[in-house]
Homo-oligomer: A and B are copies of this chain.
Amino acid sequence: MPNPPAKPSPTLVCPVPLPAGAAVQLGHGSGGRLSQQLLGDVFLSTFDDPELATLKDGAVLPIGSSRLALSTDSFVVHPLFFPGGDIGSLAVHGTVNDLCMCGARPIALSAGFILEEGLPLHTLKQVVASMQRAAVEAGVRVVTGDTKVVEHGKGDGLYINTAGVGVIPEEVQVAPNRARPGDRVLINGPIGEHGIAVLSVREGLAFESPIVSDCASLVDLVARMLAAGGEGVHVLRDPTRGGVATAVYELAASARVGVTLNERAIPVADAVHGACELLGLDPLYVANEGKVVAWVDPSRAEAVLEAMRAHPLGAQAAIIGEVTAGPPGEVYLRSSIGSLRVLDLLSGEQLPRIC
């Protein structure tokens, strides 16, 4: 560990007053520093709820003798269709995966549609059919919904919100506060594919080998990881908007531990690597939609890795880093040549509207 300079804790507790005349910027939707500021300044300080303040992928609520997980996401991806998925599959997998990250077995989804006047109905049908396929794949039902229509020019075809509920099995204990120094950081495969796939079709970029979104349901993979690792699986997070760097940074801040990632161990497909070099993007900050980052007790890490590799969504799973004693909330990347650099939150917007 290097000796880093003292700096304020990155946890979100003290809202900074908003400058007069401030307005929403695209970066507020990035998942990076502006998103966190908005969260702290506007949402956490106003709603002031202890469960919301944990900043997990979903909330955990006691219902009778069960623990219920509740999660929501709105989807504004542009364009609606991209290699490997569309806004419909994304809207189902996104919320299903958030429930999985709470250790829950997803049960049911709600679906709220905001349609722009003029959207072709066959486009809507195609998206809804894709949602249904994704729901069947994930073993959840779409049980309730809502549709609103806004005038032409007040939307962008179609926005979808999904919210989901799931039940956390009694034996599962997954939460940032279970992180321990020494925990291994695992991921189930190569990073950055979703973001680059959406970007490629939006910007009309053609790469030598086409890049396909990793959009997928993690229900089965996570169940196998939990079966293999038991209570040794401490923390789960899907590195969506903001990528692996943001997910690990947020977890480290929330768990008040440090993390060191090993660049060489992080799987990145050649095509994504090439596209990122060309576009000046850092794959560590590019969104994934079928990836899980797990913090696992060192005694169970190999067993969980083996379970991941035995699953179709985990063939390239790897141990990519380790939780350290601190400083709390600091994430370091050990480069291929052995140097260490601090991984920070993005301050602006790298790729707008990729989910």
Interface residues, chain A, with chain B CB atoms under 8 Å away: 18, 20-29, 35, 38-39, 41-43, 46-49, 51-52, 56, 58-59, 61, 63-66, 68, 70-76, 107-108, 110-122, 124-125, 128-129, 131-132, 135, 141-151, 153-156, 159, 161, 163, 165, 167, 352-353, 355
Q: Which residue of B lies closest to A129 (CB)?
A: B46
Is the beta-carbon distance between A51 and B144 smaller than 8 angstroms? yes
Of B29, B151, B161, B352, which contacts A161 at CB under 8 A?
B161
Known contacts A46-B132, A49-B142, A23 near B119 by CB under 8 Å? yes
Q: A42-B125, A71-B144, A148-B355 are in contact. List 18 more A-B contacts (CB 8 A).
A: A18-B122, A23-B120, A24-B119, A25-B149, A29-B115, A48-B132, A51-B108, A52-B145, A63-B63, A63-B165, A64-B167, A68-B68, A70-B144, A72-B144, A73-B112, A75-B148, A150-B156, A161-B161
A31 CB to closest chain B CB (Å) equals 9
CA distance A76 to B115 in the complex (A): 10
Query: Which are the 3 A-B pairs with shortest beta-carbon distances?
Result: A29-B149, A163-B163, A59-B143
Of B107, B150, B167, which contacts A353 at CB under 8 A?
B150
CA distance A61 to B141 in the complex (A): 11
A124 CB to closest chain B CB (Å) equals 6
Say how many copies of this protein the assembly contains: 2
Q: Which residue of B lies closest to A61 (CB)?
A: B108
Known contacts A73-B112, A110-B71, A63 near B144 by CB under 8 Å? no
Q: A61 — which chain B residues lie within 8 A by C-beta? A: 107-108, 143, 165
A338 CB to closest chain B CB (Å) equals 38
Q: Which residue of B lies closest to A71 (CB)?
A: B144
A254 CB to closest chain B CB (Å) equals 14
Is the beta-carbon distance between A144 and B352 smaller than 8 angstroms? no
Q: A116 — which chain B residues lie within 8 A by C-beta? A: 24
CA distance A312 to B339 in the complex (A): 68
A174 CB to closest chain B CB (Å) equals 16
CA distance A119 to B26 in the complex (A): 11
Is the beta-carbon distance between A147 and B23 smaller than 8 angstroms? no
